[in-house]
Chains A and B, each alone.
Chain A
Amino acid sequence: MTAYDSVLTVRDLSVAYTVGRNSLEVLRGVDLELGRGEVLAVVGESGSGKTTTAQAVTGLLAANGRVTGGTVHLGDTDITGWSDRRMRAVRGARIGWIPQDPVTSLNPVKRIGDTVAEALLIHRWKDAAARSRRVIDLLERVGIPEPARRARQFPHELSGGMRQRVLIAAAIALEPELLIADEATSALDVTVQRTILDLIDDLRRENGTSVLMITHDLAVAADRADRLLVLKDGRVREAGATDALLAAPSDDYTRRLLADAPSLGDVTVRTVPDAARTAPPVLEIAGLVKEFPVGRGEVFRAVDDVSLRIAPGTTHAIVGESGSGKTTTARIVLGFTAPDAGTVRLSGTDITGLGREEMRVQRRRVQMVYQNPFASLDPRQTVEQIVAEPLRNFRLGAAPARRARAAELVEQVALPSSVLGRRPSELSGGQRQRVAIARALVLDPELVVLDEAVSALDVTVQAQLLELLQRLQDERGVSYLFISHDLAVVRRISHEVSVMRRGRIVEQGPVSDVFDSPADAYTRSLLDAIPGRRPHGRATPTAPAERTTP
C-alpha cells in the first residue's frame, strides 16, 4: 500500500456531540482511506455516524459537535482541527459537496447561474466573463439542456433531478479532487437517481475525482462503489472491496444489512391462492378519473381511467414515480377525495358519492397507514389512546375492553407492553410505524392502505416491518393496497402490481409476470433503474449470484 495515492485519509477519528450536559460519542475511532479516482461508500442506518463522518472531514460539524481524537489528511495536508477560516480555502476548491435535498439546498431567490458561480467567486477564480462562460460549460457538462437559458432561471423552474444536477455543477466547479455525496440521490425517483449516479460516475472517470458516498442504500453502494465501509454506532464494522465484501461479509451486522436490503436479499415472490382469486374482491376500482384545475380553465388529470381489483387476503401494489397519481388513487379509496368519474367498491358497496356520515361508517372496513410515522401519531396521546381511538370513534366496547384490545394489538405488532403508556416521541421510527399498523388493524378492517409505509425507515427496520405485515396478513386475511415508489420492496410484499405513469396504469398483473417479463417499456426502464441489479464483474465475475445468498 506504499504506492497508494490517497486523497483522503482518516485515522482513528472520534467525534462527540454535547447534548445538554452530556457528551455523546458519535464516532469512535473511524479509519478510512480513499484513493485517487476511487468511490468509497459509507453505509449504515440512521444514527450510525455516516453524515457526521462527512461533516467532520469538511469541518462542517454542528455547533455542538467537536473532534475528540484522530486525524484527517487531505492528500498530504493534515486538516485536523483547522479553523473555519482555513477550511474555507479547502471547501469548494479541493472538496466538493453534493447535498441531500435538492429542493431545499438551492437558494430560491438566486438564479441557477449565480449559484453555480458562487464557488468560483468565493475562490476568486478569474474574472466575471470567464466565470459566466465556465458556468455555462459546467451546466452543459452535467447534462442540463439549453444551459444559457437555464442559467438565468430560478430553482423553482427546474425539476428535482435538474436541481441535483445544478448542485453537482456547483460542487465540481473548481475541479475538486474529492467529491462528497451525502445521500445525494435518496430523495429522487429511481430513474432520475440512476441518471444522477451515472453522471457522478462519468465525472469520476473523466477527471479522476474521488467520491465519498454517504448512503443508507446498500444497493446503490453495491452498484457504484469500489469499496464499502459499513458503519454502526460510530464504529467501522467492516471495510473492503465492494465485490469481496458483498460476496463474503465477515461481520454479522453486514450480513443482516445484506439480507434486509430489499433488492439484494432472497425473495420468494408471493402468488395469489386460487381460492382468493375466485372469491369476490375486497376492493374493486373501475374507470377512476380525477382532475385538478391548474388555473385558466386547464385541468391536470392526476388519475386517468384507473381500474384494479384486490382479492381477499392479498396485497396489490401501485408503483410509480412522484406525480404518477398513486397517492391520489389511495385518497379516493379512503374517501378523502371525490373522483370525477368511476366507482370504488368495497366488498361490493360503492363508496363514491357517499355522505359524510355514510363514509364514516365505511371507514371501519378500510384503514390507512401513512408514510411518515413522525407525523401520523398525535404527539400528545399515549400509544394506548392512539391504538384504541378507532374503537372509541365507533363506540365499540367499554373503556376497559378497549384498553385490553389495544394491548392485544400492540402485542401482535411485536411491541413490548411497556410502550402502552408512552408517547410517540419516546419511540423510534420503526416502533411508531408499528403503532400506526396496530391502529389500522384494531377495527379488523378488510383493507389497509399503506402509503409508502416503509419508505422512511432503515433497511433493517423495513425488512422487519414487511415481515410483520405479511404475518398479519396470513393470520387475519386482511388485504393491502400498497403504494410505493420502491420496486424492490413491492416485489417482496405484493401478490399483484399496477405500474402507474402520468395517472394511467401502464401495466398490471401478478408480481412474477410484471417483474420477470415486463411488457411495457416504462416498466422495463423502472426495473432497470433499481439499484443493486448491476452485475459486479470488475473483481469477481460471479459476484451477483453470490450476493443473493449472504
Chain B
Amino acid sequence: MSAPTEQSIVAGGTEASPSGGARFAPRARTRAERRRRVRPTVLLSWIVIAVAVAWAIAPGVFAPADPVAGNAADALQAPGAAHWFGTDATGRDMYSRVVHGAIHSLSGALIAVSVGLVVGTVLGVVAGAVDGVVSEAIMRLVDVLLAIPQLLLMLSIIIILGFGTAQAAVAVGITSIAAFARLARSEVVRVRRSDYVEAAYASGGRRVAVLVRHVLPNSLTAVVALAALQFGTAILLISTLGFLGYGAPPPTPEWGLMIAEGRNYVATSWWLTTLPGLVVVAVVISANRISSALNDRDRR
C-alpha cells in the first residue's frame, strides 16, 4: 500500500523492456531535476555561512575600522550609516568587531567539531565493527561522558587545560564525542546487518576491505550531517563559554564575550547584545538547516 513514488512507477515501466536501455530516460531526467532544484532556505543558509567564512578569512575587506581601538567620542552610538551595528562603551565599531570576531568563533567551532568528529567517529566505528569486550568498553565510556552535564564537563576541562579560545574549543569538542560515537556506532551496526555487506563477505571479502568499501561510505552520511549540526551548536557553546569568561580574554572581539560585555548596557544600548546575538543565531540556524538538508538528501 505504499504511496507510488516515482521509483516504483518508473521501475514498473522499465521492467517491460529488460534489454532496452532507452527507457531509463525518464528516471535520469528526474534525478537531474532534483539536483537543480535548490530549496531557497538552504540556499540562504549557505549564503549566511559563506559570508561568515568570508568575514573570517578577510575581515579587513568587509570592515576597515579597527575592532580593538576605539574613539571615546563615539561611545554608545546607535546603529546608523557611520556605524552599522553602533558602537560600544569605548567607542569601538560593533560591526567591525563582529566581522573580526568571526575568525574566533568559526575556527573555534571548526576545532570543536574536528575533535568530536574524529575521536567520536573512530570510537563509534570501532565499537560498531567489532563485538565483545572492546565494543562494550568503548560504549560504557561514552555513557559516562553522556552522564556528566555538558556545561559542567566543559568547565572542568577548561580548568584543566587553561583559559583561551583554543582550549574552549577543545572542551566543546570533547563534550560532543559521545554524540558522534553513538551515532557512528548505530549507523555502522545498521549497515553491517544489511544484505549487501553479507553479500560482500559471501563474495570473499576480508573484514577490513568490507568495512572500508561498504560499511563506512554508507554509514557516515548521518555523521557528516551531525557534524554540520554540531558546528552550529559549537558556535553557541563557545559563545556561552566566552560569555561566562572562560574563553578568549578581552579585548578579543569574540561573539560570546561581546554579548557579555554589552549586557550591562542592555537597557540603554540594545544593539550591543542584540546584533552580535542575531549574528550568532543566524549562523547557528543556517548550520542546522544545512545539516537537515544533508540528512534529507541521504534519505532519498
* Interface membership of A334, Cβ < 8 A: yes
Contacts of A129 on B, CB cut-off 8 Å? Answer: none
- Interface stretch, picked from A79-87, A113-121, A282-290, A377-385, is A377-385
CB proximity of A253 to chain B, nearest CB, Å: 9
Contacts of A378 on B, CB cut-off 8 Å? Answer: 196, 200, 213-214, 217-218
Q: Mark A379-393, 1 if CB is under 8 A from B, else 0.
A: 111000000011001
Contact of A443 among B9, B24, B196, B203 (CB under 8 A): B203
Whether B5 contacts A19 by the Cβ 8 Å rule is yes
Whether B19 contacts A48 by the Cβ 8 Å rule is no
- Please, how many angstroms separate the alpha-carbon atoms of A434 and B14 in the complex? 14
- Interface stretch, picked from B29-37, B72-80, B119-127, B234-242, is B29-37
- Interface stretch, picked from B53-61, B145-153, B204-212, B278-286, is B204-212
Contacts of A537 on B, CB cut-off 8 Å? Answer: none
Tell me which of B12, B204, B214 has the highest count of chain A C-beta atoms within 10 A of its own C-beta.
B204
* Interface membership of A376, Cβ < 8 A: yes
- Please, how many angstroms separate the alpha-carbon atoms of A180 and B21 in the complex? 37
Q: Mark A181-207, 1 if CB is under 8 A from B, else 0.
A: 010000000000000000000000000
Contact of B196 among A52, A182, A375, A461 (CB under 8 A): A375
Whether B6 contacts A24 by the Cβ 8 Å rule is yes
* Interface membership of A429, Cβ < 8 A: yes
- Please, how many angstroms separate the alpha-carbon atoms of A21 and B36 in the complex? 12
* Interface membership of B296, Cβ < 8 A: no
Contacts of A45 on B, CB cut-off 8 Å? Answer: 12, 15
Q: A47-B12, A380-B218, A390-B203 are in contact. Are A17 and B4 (CB under 8 A)?
A: yes
Whether B24 contacts A426 by the Cβ 8 Å rule is yes
Contacts of B37 on A, CB cut-off 8 Å? Answer: 20-21
CB proximity of A446 to chain B, nearest CB, Å: 14
Contacts of B194 on A, CB cut-off 8 Å? Answer: 375
Interface residues on A, range: 35 or more
Whether A416 contacts B195 by the Cβ 8 Å rule is no
Contact of A24 among B9, B200, B201 (CB under 8 A): B9
Contacts of B206 on A, CB cut-off 8 Å? Answer: 360, 393
Q: A99-B1, A418-B21 are in contact. Are A48 and B12 (CB under 8 A)?
A: yes
- Please, how many angstroms separate the alpha-carbon atoms of A546 and B84 in the complex? 88
Whether A414 contacts B13 by the Cβ 8 Å rule is no
Contacts of B7 on A, CB cut-off 8 Å? Answer: 425
CB proximity of B216 to chain A, nearest CB, Å: 10
- Interface stretch, picked from A271-279, A300-308, A365-373, is A365-373
Whether B204 contacts A377 by the Cβ 8 Å rule is no
Contacts of A360 on B, CB cut-off 8 Å? Answer: 204, 206
Contacts of B28 on A, CB cut-off 8 Å? Answer: 426
* Interface membership of A439, Cβ < 8 A: yes
Whether B8 contacts A47 by the Cβ 8 Å rule is yes
Contacts of B195 on A, CB cut-off 8 Å? Answer: 370, 372, 375-376
Tell me which of B3, B9, B205 has the highest count of chain A C-beta atoms within 10 A of its own C-beta.
B9
- Please, how many angstroms separate the alpha-carbon atoms of A439 and B203 in the complex? 8
* Interface membership of A159, Cβ < 8 A: no
- Please, how many angstroms separate the alpha-carbon atoms of A41 and B291 in the complex? 47
- Please, how many angstroms separate the alpha-carbon atoms of A21 and B33 in the complex? 10
Contacts of B199 on A, CB cut-off 8 Å? Answer: 368, 370, 376-377, 436, 439
* Interface membership of B202, Cβ < 8 A: yes
* Interface membership of A219, Cβ < 8 A: no
- Please, how many angstroms separate the alpha-carbon atoms of A389 and B210 in the complex? 10
Chain A residue at minimal CB-CB distance from B33: A20
CB proximity of A185 to chain B, nearest CB, Å: 14
* Interface membership of A512, Cβ < 8 A: no
* Interface membership of B11, Cβ < 8 A: yes
- Please, how many angstroms separate the alpha-carbon atoms of A65 and B4 in the complex? 9
* Interface membership of A363, Cβ < 8 A: yes
Contacts of A153 on B, CB cut-off 8 Å? Answer: none
- Please, how many angstroms separate the alpha-carbon atoms of A37 and B55 in the complex? 75
Whether A47 contacts B4 by the Cβ 8 Å rule is yes
Contact of A363 among B21, B196, B204 (CB under 8 A): B204
CB proximity of A58 to chain B, nearest CB, Å: 11
Whether B8 contacts A393 by the Cβ 8 Å rule is no
* Interface membership of A343, Cβ < 8 A: no
Contact of B18 among A63, A414, A426 (CB under 8 A): A414
Whether B27 contacts A426 by the Cβ 8 Å rule is yes
Whether B205 contacts A393 by the Cβ 8 Å rule is yes
Report A56-115 residues with CB < 8 Å from chain B CB: 62-65, 99-101
Whether B204 contacts A364 by the Cβ 8 Å rule is yes
Report B170-206 residues with CB < 8 Å from chain A CB: 194-196, 198-206
- Please, how many angstroms separate the alpha-carbon atoms of A64 and B2 in the complex? 12
* Interface membership of A6, Cβ < 8 A: no
User: 3 tightest A-B contacts by CB?
Assistant: A47-B12, A62-B3, A390-B203
27 CB-based A-B contacts, threshold 8 Å: A19-B6, A20-B33, A20-B34, A21-B33, A22-B30, A46-B8, A47-B8, A47-B9, A51-B1, A65-B4, A233-B13, A336-B202, A360-B206, A364-B204, A367-B203, A368-B199, A375-B194, A377-B196, A379-B196, A379-B218, A393-B206, A414-B19, A426-B28, A426-B31, A431-B15, A431-B18, A458-B12
Which residues of chain B have a CB within 8 Å of any CB of chain A?
1, 3-16, 18-21, 24, 27-28, 30-31, 33-34, 37, 194-196, 198-206, 209, 213-214, 217-218
Other A-B pairs beyond A19-B30, A416-B19, 17, CB < 8 Å? A47-B10, A51-B1, A51-B4, A52-B4, A63-B3, A65-B4, A99-B1, A233-B12, A367-B202, A372-B195, A389-B203, A393-B206, A414-B19, A416-B21, A426-B28, A431-B15, A461-B18
